[in-house]
Amino acid sequence: MIIAIASGKGGTGKTTIAVNLAIALEGVQYLDCDVEEPNGHLFLNPRLTDIISVGIPVPRVDDSKCTYCGKCAEVCEFNAIVVIKEKVLIFPELCHGCGACSYICPEDAIEEVEREVGVVKKGEADGIEVIYGLLNVGEPMAPPLIKKVKQFADHQKIAILDSSPGTSCPVVVAVRDSDFCLLVTEPTPFGLHDLTLAVEVMRKLKIPLGVVINRSDVGDKKVWGYCKKENIPILMEIPHDRKIAESYSKGIPLLKDIPEYRNAFKKLYQDIKQEIKK
């Protein structure tokens, strides 16, 4: 079972929920697909066992075979390959590695070479299998790395998947095929606005969803009204607590500092299971 944790906006406590749900359940996988800024491992502190380079195939042209016909440039949807007179220019950072240019080349002049976009790190922390992607600095191509992290999901286990915030392409790639998505929000106008966008995305992807309201005693009550109107279950509410903020700032998981929350996270999982069965 894959439980994705997402949020319409950053800073809502998404990683706090994902990390502590993993700790409360024990023996699970924690997949960090927030590959631009993975930070769950800072709380879990895994002992690393593997670092795997992840790349995408980009074209390399053999000038001795190329006739500069321009077919490769015509087929590339991303303008990653351009033919000017007697020169083929390749822009590797725009290339999505689809292979269309090498397939179409009539002279068999294109070979594919691997370009690293990031690494996947694997490790173990107190019985939790931790897998996270780390995109190379300045690298725009997050989806191939996210897909690689997801390949390590063990379908015999529970996998807690931490997605990046927002509703853009990397979020869709991360949460797609999840059994459930938990959307973490806060009761503010910005929180509500971004929650509505995230709900739309999850509904389009046909992923059952529930909401966690963090810092539930600040702001207004509009998130509750919205969830009621949209028939979205609110599965957990966490009030603003200085101790939670302090443990977060020290990189200590909430459950290690305030163990009273363990039962609440276990109940959260039971409620998710009930929602999936509906």
Residues binding ligand SF4 (CB under 6 A): 58-59, 61, 66-72, 75-76, 78, 80-81, 83, 88, 95-101, 105, 107, 109-110
- Cα 162 to chain centroid distance, Å, stands at 5
Closer CB to ligand SF4, 97 or 133, in the complex: 97
In the numeric block, the tokens 């800024």 are attached to 37
Closer CB to ligand SF4, 59 or 210, in the complex: 59
Shortest distance, position 92 Cβ to ligand SF4, whole Å:
8
Shortest distance, position 122 Cβ to ligand SF4, whole Å:
28
Closer CB to ligand SF4, 108 or 260, in the complex: 108
Shortest distance, position 124 Cβ to ligand SF4, whole Å:
36
Q: What is the distance between the alpha carbons of residues 230 and 152, in angstroms, rounded to a whole number?
A: 34
Shortest distance, position 94 Cβ to ligand SF4, whole Å:
7
Shortest distance, position 173 Cβ to ligand SF4, whole Å:
17
Shortest distance, position 84 Cβ to ligand SF4, whole Å:
10
Closer CB to ligand SF4, 113 or 245, in the complex: 113
Closer CB to ligand SF4, 136 or 196, in the complex: 136
Closer CB to ligand SF4, 19 or 56, in the complex: 56
Q: What is the distance between the alpha carbons of residues 142 and 253, in angstroms, rounded to a whole number?
A: 27
**Alpha-carbon separation of residue 183 from 11, 155, 165, 190 (angstroms):** 13, 22, 10, 14
**Alpha-carbon separation of residue 168 from 146, 172, 173, 202, 273 (angstroms):** 13, 7, 9, 12, 27
Closer CB to ligand SF4, 92 or 233, in the complex: 92
Shortest distance, position 136 Cβ to ligand SF4, whole Å:
17
